Every structure is written in C-alpha cells, then in structure tokens.
Amino acid sequence: EDRDMKLVSSEEICRTPIFWVTLDKAIDPDGFEIKRAIVQHQGSAVMMAVDAKNRVLLVRQYRLPARAFLWELPAGRVDAGETVLKAAKRELIEETGFKASKWTKLFTFFASPGYVAERMTIYVAQELKAGAATPMEDERIETRWFTMAEIGRMIRSNEIVDAKTVIGWTVWRERARAASQKS
C-alpha cells in the first residue's frame, strides 16, 4: 500500500565535486518515520553505442571503489543545466571519440536506491562516426567492440559485473526479442 511520505528535513553534511551527502527525514500521516544519510547526485548518462554490425562499444577502466578494472558501458555525470541527452552526447565523445547521429532513450533506473539518489539513463547511440577521445585527467580508458553474444557470455561468467551494463544489455536484448516476435 502506498503511503504519502513527506520530506520534513534535509541537511547537507558533506560535499565533494561529484556528489554531496544529506541527512534526510521523511514522515507519513500515521507518524511512520524514515531517516537516512543519502548520497545526492546530479544523475548520469549511459551510452550504449551500437555499430552497423550490431556490436556494442564497451570501455575498460580502473574503478577505485571496485578495486578492479571493469568492462562497462561508458557513462558520465550530467552537469548542472545540462539535459541527460546532452550529457550523453558530450560524454560519448569525451570517453570514446565517437559521435552518433541517432539517439534513442532505452531505460532509466536508480543505481542503488537504498542510499544513493543517482538516476541513470541509458541511451542507444547509433549511426556512429569515429573521432578523438578526450578523457579527463583521472581517466585512462580502453575501448573495444563486443557482440551481444560476447557480452552475454561475459555477464554469465562474471567478467562484466557493472550494473548499468547488465541492465543495458538485458533491456536491449528483451526489446529486440519482443520486436522479432511481433514481426
């Protein structure tokens, strides 16, 4: 049963260049209360670049929280005043050098809604044109094209453990499957 939760307080307790943390309190009409420290975030754009051969471009970089190099869909933060699509276009060029002339919104989700307020939106980028990547100072990014079958195998064998990549691959595959059943 849905209850009307009302945010009654939100106090910033920490700020970094990428995110900030608030201590939030919400209450419903019956007096039920939730208190949480929440990592606040502008949101992220995720780019699923798909070429004419239906291959997907993944990036590999060292992820400090994971303490590992991960294969994943490229992604980046939405800057203040920027739409998610504009961020996707900017980030795809920065991280991979590719420009796309066809963009389709695939899926929006919360990365970890228990304590993180980050909303991630995956866009499929098609009709690609290669160019030079301009990664940020703290990014060393390797790129490689993978078939949908290779990505599926890598997910099943735990070589891909990044949630946005698993979600993007799954939603893309399900939409393709549904489309082929209609025809």
pLDDT reported for residue 2: 61
Cβ count near 41 (within 10 Å): 17
**Are 10 and 22 within 8 A, CB to CB?**
yes
Distance CA 117, CA 143 (A): 28
Distance CA 59, CA 70 (A): 8
Tokens of 116: 């993180």
pLDDT reported for residue 86: 97
**Mean pLDDT computed over every residue of the chain:** 93
pLDDT reported for residue 176: 87
pLDDT reported for residue 140: 80
Average the pLDDT over 135-140 and give the result: 71
pLDDT at residue 57 greater than cutoff 90: yes
Predicted model pTM: 0.90
Distance CA 46, CA 75 (A): 4
